[in-house]
Amino acid sequence: MTLTETILARASGRTSVSAGDNIWVNADVLMTHDVCGPGTIGVFKREFGKAAKVWDRNKVVIIPDHYIFTADSKSNRNVDILREFVREQGLPYFYDVIDDPNGAWKFDASKGLLKRQYGSNYAGVCHTALPQKGHTRPGEILFGTDSHTCMAGAFNQFATGIGNTDAGFVLGTGKLLIKVPET
């Protein structure tokens, strides 16, 4: 088997898989951010219930990194939705851009107009934050709600981008039906 097939076999509980097989795999990490996170959370709550809990709170990583330095209230609302969900679920891997858990961010003019101002937990762009924070591990499955998630394959894991519907399902079950890719 190829490296990808070996990883997918482990995640599916099978001894072997082949290109073209449709298999259920267990996710090791699900990452979402401020662009797709609110939609993913919406699907999760609609399909599993407003009081539902994620399948494993230690395997969910949420990283605001797209709409974080903006004055646009709709963009800021996306990050607020993430904060609310993190509080509801008790998720430990939330790399917020600010330190205030209530979402209050104030620009400090004394630091200078061109200085980025962010909190101590801010981890940067999700694709660099994942390995820097220890969420990319060889032999594991990483699903992320971003098309660039596959770059984590450089860490010898199966990493791929998925949409909000699939991610909402992973939040609730920890599983996803995928087709074993060709080499």
Amino acid identity of residue 143, one-letter, is F
User: Quick one: pLDDT at residue 73?
Assistant: 74
pLDDT tens digits, the chain, 183 residues: what are they? Answer: 999 999 999 999 999 999 999 999 999 999 999 999 999 999 999 999 999 999 999 999 999 988 777 767 777 888 889 999 999 999 999 998 876 666 666 656 677 665 556 677 888 788 999 999 999 999 999 999 999 999 999 999 999 999 999 999 999 999 999 999 998
Tell me the C-alpha distance between 183 and 176, whole Å. 20
Model pLDDT, residue 112: 65
Note the pLDDT of residue 114. 54
Nearest Cα to Cα of residue 43 among 3, 85, 11, 6: 85
Q: How far is CA 139 from CA 1, 124, 158, in A?
A: 14, 25, 7
pLDDT value, residue 65:
87
pTM: 0.89
Antiparallel, parallel or unpaired: β 29-33 and 22-26: unpaired
The pLDDT of residue 104 is: 62
Q: What is the 3-state secondary structure (H, E, C) of the chain?
A: CCHHHHHHHHHHCCCCCCCCCEEEEECCEEEEECCCHHHHHHHHHHHHCCCCCCCCHHHEEEECCCCCCCCCHHHHHHHHHHHHHHHHHCCCEECCCCCCCCCCCCCCHHHCCCCCCCCCCCCCCHHHHHHHCCCCCCCCEEEECCHHHHHHHHHCCEEEECCHHHHHHHHHHCEEEEECCCC
- How far apart CA 51 and CA 45 sit, in angstroms, is 8
Identify which of 161, 150, 180 has the alpha carbon closest to the alpha carbon of residue 19. Answer: 180
Multiple choice CATH, 3-179, 3.30.499.10, 3.40.50.2000, 3.60.20.40, 3.40.50.300? 3.30.499.10
Instruction: Calculate Rg over the CA atoms of the chain.
Output: 17
